[in-house]
Chains A and B, each alone.
Chain A
Amino acid sequence: MNLLLPEFFLLFLTFFILSLDLWRNKSQSALSFHLSWGGLLALFVLLLALPYDQEQVYFGGYTVNGTALLFKQIFVLSALFTVLLSRPYFTPGGNRRGTLKYRSEFYCIILLCTFGMFAVVSAKDLLTVFIGMELATIPLYILSGYQKEDAFSVEASTKYIIMGSLSTGLLLFGYSFLYGCAGSLGFDAIAAVAQSSQDEPLLKLGVLFVFAAIGFKLTLFPFHMWAPDVYDGSPTPVTAFISVSSKSVAIAFLLILVYGPLAPMHGYLQPILLILAAATMTVGNLGALRQLKLRRFMAYSSIAQAGYIIMAMAGTSEAAWSSIIYYLFVYAAANYALFFIISLIGRHGNEEFKSLQGMGKQHPVLAAVLLLTLFSLGGIPPLAGFMGKFLLFAAAAEQGFYAMVVFAALNSTISLYYYLLLAKEAYIIKPFAVKNNLLQTDIVQKVSLMVLTSAMIFFGLLPVFSNAIRATVH
Chain B
Amino acid sequence: MTLSHCVILSLILCAIGVYGVLTRRNLIGILLSVEVILNGANINFAAFAHFRAVDSVAGAIFPIFVMAVSACEMAVALAIIISMYRRKRRLDVYNLEELHG
Contacts and interface: CB of A to CB of B under 8 A. Distances in A.
Contacts of B38: 168-169, 172
A222 interface: no
A134 to B, nearest CB: 5
A442 to B, nearest CB: 30
6 contacts: A127-B65, A138-B72, A142-B80, A158-B81, A165-B77, A173-B10
10 A-B pairs closest in CB distance: A169-B37, A172-B41, A176-B44, A180-B48, A183-B54, A184-B55, A229-B99, A183-B53, A185-B58, A165-B34
Instruction: Describe B's contact surface by its main secondary structure.
Output: helix
A157 B80 contact: yes
Given A138-B73, A179-B53, A233-B99, A151 B41 contact: no
Interface in B1-58: 7, 10, 14, 17-18, 21, 27, 30-31, 34, 37-38, 40-42, 44-45, 48, 52-55, 58
Contacts of B83: 145, 148, 154
B59 A173 contact: no
B76 A141 contact: yes
Given A173-B44, A176-B41, A229 B100 contact: yes
Contacts of A447: none
Given A151-B98, A185-B58, A168 B73 contact: yes
Given A179-B45, A233-B99, A151 B58 contact: no
Contacts of B30: 162
Contact of B69 (A134, A155, A161, A184): A134
A155 B41 CA distance: 28
B44 A180 contact: yes
Interface string A370-397: 0000000000000000000000000000
Contacts of B14: 169, 173
A177 interface: yes
Interface in A183-201: 183-186, 189
Nearest to B21: A166
Contacts of B21: 162, 166
A165 B73 contact: yes
Interface residues of B, number: 46
A223 interface: no
Interface string A276-313: 00000000000000011100100000000000000000
Contacts of B41: 169, 172-173, 175-176
Q: How large is the interface on A (under 10, 10 to 19, 20 to 34, 35 or more residues)?
A: 35 or more
Interface in A111-138: 125-127, 130-131, 134, 138
Given A173-B41, A179-B53, A179-B59, A158 B80 contact: yes
A296 B99 CA distance: 10
A227 to B, nearest CB: 11
Contacts of B52: 180, 183
B101 A169 contact: no
Contact of B88 (A127, A151, A162): A151
A141 B77 contact: yes
A218 interface: no
Interface of A: 125-127, 130-131, 134, 138, 141-142, 145, 148, 151-152, 154-159, 161-162, 165-166, 168-170, 172-173, 175-177, 179-180, 183-186, 189, 228-229, 232-233, 291-293, 296
Contacts of B80: 141-142, 145, 154, 157-158, 161
A142 B76 contact: yes
Nearest to B78: A161
Q: Which of A127, A162, A170 counts the most B-chain CB atoms under 10 A from its CB? A: A162
Contacts of B84: 154-155, 158
Interface string B60-101: 011001100110110011011101100110000000101111
A170 B18 CA distance: 9
Contact of B37 (A130, A138, A166, A184): A166
A155 B34 contact: no
Contacts of A161: 73, 76-77, 80
A173 B34 contact: no
Contacts of A233: 99
Contacts of B77: 141, 161-162, 165
Contacts of B81: 158
A159 B73 contact: no
B96 A158 contact: yes
Q: Which of B44, B65, B72 has the most CB of A within 10 A?
A: B44
Contacts of A148: 83
A71 to B, nearest CB: 22
Nearest to B38: A169
Residue of A148, A161, A184, A291 with highest tally of chain B CB at under 10 A: A161
B44 to A, nearest CB: 4
Contacts of B31: 162, 165
Nearest to A134: B69
A179 to B, nearest CB: 6
Contact of B101 (A125, A154, A156, A296): A296
A156 B99 contact: yes
